[in-house]
Amino acid sequence: MLSFFLPFRPLLRVLSVAAVASTLLTGCNDDDDDDTTPATSSNIVQTAQGNPSFSTLVAAVTKADLATTLSGTGPFTVFAPTNDAFAKLSAPYNTAANITAITDANQIATLRGILLYHVVAANIKAADIPNGASNRTTARPASTVSGTTLNDNTIYLSKNSSGVFINGNSKVVTADVAASNGTIHAIDNVLMPPSQTIAQLVVASANRSSNPEFTLLLQALQRPAASAILAAANNQTANVTVFAPTDAAFRTLLNGQPLSSVSDNDLVAILSRHVISTGRVFSTDLAAGTVNTLSGSITVAAAGSGFTVRGGTGTAANITTANILATNGVVHVIDQVLRP
């Protein structure tokens, strides 16, 4: 999953150490999280240092100059990627040795932004996380572009019978590691802050020089009749879920005919069936049943370890890549177009 998302990630803004400290050290007293101090004298950094599974994380915290802050009073909750989680990233962020060797200021700022996206200024135990979907604002300062504040500092939690997941793709593998100033939850993937809207993700994928995807979806969205849907997909204040058909899915629908052969009314009805406007629905939030879209409902059905989605007619679509996080929603790639 991560390999699909990473090409869309531009370089994060440089964050000053002062802004980091200010963000982490304010708002630490959360009325919903008045847990007593854990019975341990080791703070979060010391606890991580004593666990060999967090050696890459410790190197990253040191390089990003966050060790002093995360050793402070807190309380903090850290969703802590294991060494194996970091190893899934590209160099230089994949090993302790590579991270320690970083000298480029932009790369250090990128690392700092990623780490802050794993920190919540409250002491959250596993039992404090409600069942179903919830979210938390992290210690990463929200970015601002042309006067618009982006939603790139929120993590989305899903708690179900299989455990606790963050942003759909990362699972808590060890919960409730106590520290004197908070709690650590070990996770199996590094969390990446989103940096683009759903529309920007589609455009970037369609314009890739190698293995472009969503070219037909982009053509469909650019039809004047679909302007409202395209605007929603690019609205920074939106909170939507989009099932994005691949080019192969559109070719199956078109059966050799050009996209222009689909009438405006039919095209809008089809595209609307792919958008849930009531919030982010991660794969870990899905359940068998019906879900309302902008144009009627779709049927979700269990399929092995995942789910399929079906429109009013046609073949059920498999979710081939799930949980691509955008600043204004989440995208699931599907292999069939959902028909009204």
Tens-binned pLDDT, residue by residue, of the chain (340 aa) = 333 334 333 333 333 333 333 333 333 334 444 444 445 789 999 999 999 999 999 999 999 999 999 999 999 999 999 999 999 999 999 999 999 999 999 999 999 999 999 999 999 999 999 999 999 999 999 999 888 899 999 999 999 999 999 999 999 999 999 999 999 999 999 999 999 999 999 999 999 999 999 999 999 999 999 999 999 999 999 999 999 999 999 999 999 999 999 999 999 999 999 999 999 999 999 999 999 999 999 999 999 888 999 998 889 999 999 999 999 999 999 999 999 9
Partners of 132 in beta bridges:
159
Q: Which domains does the chain have, with CATH numbers?
A: 2-187 (2.30.180.10), 198-334 (2.30.180.10)
What pLDDT score does 295 carry?
Answer: 92
Q: DSSP letter at 277?
A: T
Q: How far is CA 88 from CA 6, 141, 153, 168, in A?
A: 11, 25, 22, 17
3-state DSSP: the chain helix, strand, coil percent, rounded to 5? Answer: 35, 25, 40
Contacts of 258 (CB under 8 A, 6+ apart): none
Q: How far is CA 226 from CA 216, 219, 231, 286, in A?
A: 13, 10, 9, 27
What pLDDT score does 147 carry?
Answer: 87
Spatial distance between the Cα atoms of 212 and 88, rounded to a whole number of angstroms: 23
Strands 306-310 and 296-303: antiparallel
CB 126 within 8 A of CB 164: yes
Give the burial string for 230-262 (b: 16+ CB within 10 Å, else e): bebbbbeebebbbbbbbbebbeebeeeeeeeeb
21, two tokens: 């400290």
Contacts of 35 (CB under 8 A, 6+ apart): 75, 123, 125, 128
Spatial distance between the Cα atoms of 271 and 337, rounded to a whole number of angstroms: 9
What pLDDT score does 39 carry?
Answer: 58
Q: What pTM does this model have?
A: 0.86
Q: Which residue has the tokens 């991270």?
A: 99
CB 150 within 8 A of CB 143: yes
